Amino acid sequence: MKMITPAALLRCLRDEADEVFVDADTAARARGAVQRMIEIGQPGGAE
């Protein structure tokens, strides 16, 4: 997997390049996983 760089992120947002589309069910499951990680907090207890 390639490293995401600020320049690549900017290009994606500005030019709508390299977009990835997933079905609604996959997106919902991924969103739930990310939400659980956010709720756990920062590694090492730094909040």
**Domain positions in the chain:** 21-47
Nearest to 20 by CA among 35, 39, 38, 2: 2
Instruction: Give the pLDDT score at 23.
Output: 96
Tens digits of residue pLDDT in 8-35: 889 988 998 887 889 999 999 999 999 9
SS in 3 state form for the chain?
Answer: CCCCCHHHHHHHHHHCCCCCCCCHHHHHHHHHHHHHHHHHCCHHHCC
Residue 45 or residue 27, greater confidence = 27
**Cβ contacts of 11 within 8 Å, gap of 6 or more:** 17, 18
| Amino acid 16: pLDDT | 87
Q: What pLDDT, on a 0 to 100 scale, did the predictor assign at position 18?
A: 81
Structure tokens of 36? Answer: 């659980």
Answer yes or no: pTM beyond 0.75: no
